[in-house]
Amino acid sequence: MTTFLVAHGAWSAGWAWKKMHSRLAVGDDRLFTPTYTGLGERVHLAGPSIDLETHVQDMLAVLEHEDLRDVVLIGHSYGGMVVTGVADQAAARVASLVYLDAFVPGNGQALVDLGRPDRFWHIMPGIGRFNWPISMLTWDVIVLNGYLLLNLHICGYLVYCAYRRREPSRIFYIPFVFVAIAWAISIHTVTAFLYSGLGGRPFWNSAVSCAQVVR
């Protein structure tokens, strides 16, 4: 018998997992999908005092009152923060820990520490530490800005020729059109690499939770 306990995402609730009951709660297996305080059907309990620790306590209460042991603890999205706290305080009841497209904090980290928006200035050439070619983000900056410059040249040249009522010279824009086509492929290639690593960069693809949650 396997017991699953799910910690849902920040903008969700236990009901979001209702379709999984028929898939995971099969035979003697059980699936628990509690809703955090202040969300979903418990939204009437919302208040400024609710934070990450509140949600950790929600999950710990389920473990205790349902007397769950050898649990497969699943954290989805923001739930990764919750299950990390739960596993830290109730390790004896947890058989395994699953991070499903979730935040994976280190010891002492808050949610905002994983994204580090304060490091945005590093992507500015000549100002920040670009960290090229190691960082995939720098490749993203290069291909996007390169594509922008190519299209500015092509469109700018054609608009200029139209304004001056002169026939555009093919040599000044046709080669750039073909370069831009190939460049567009590089954009999607870099994007594919970025998306394949979203497990380690969840902050890029997730809304910023309210300050009360991430503190």
> If we measure between CA atoms, which residue out of 189, 156, 183, 192 comes closest to residue 172?
156
Give the pLDDT means over successive 10-residue stretches in the chain (215 positions). Answer: 93 89 89 95 92 95 96 93 95 94 82 66 67 72 88 94 92 93 84 61 42 36
Alpha-carbon distance of 39 to 14, in angstroms, equals 9
Tell me which fold the domain 3-112+209-214 belongs to: Rossmann fold (3.40.50)
Residue 180 token pair: 């831009």
Q: Report d(CA 98, CA 196) in Å as an integer.
A: 18
pLDDT at 140: 79
Taking the model in full, what pTM does it have?
Answer: 0.57
Dihedral angle of Cα 165, 166, 172, 176, to the nearest 10 degrees: 40
Tokens, residue 205 = 């693809």
Q: Would you list the DSSP string of 141-195?
A: HHHHHHHHHHHHHHHHHHHHHHHTT-PPPGGGTHHHHHHHHHHHHHHHHHHHHHH
Beta bridge partners of 97: 73
Known catalytic residues are 77
C-alpha angle with apex 157: 154 to 159, nearest 5 degrees? 105
Q: What is the pLDDT of residues 66-76, one digit of tens each?
A: 999 999 999 99
Q: What would the pLDDT profile of 101-149 be if each residue is shown by its tens digit?
A: 888 888 877 776 666 666 666 666 667 666 667 767 777 778 888 999 9
- In 3-state terms, the chain is what percent helix, strand and coil (to 5)? 55, 10, 35
Residues 144 and 150: their CA atoms lie apart, in Å, by 10
DSSP H helical ranges for 93-135: 111-115
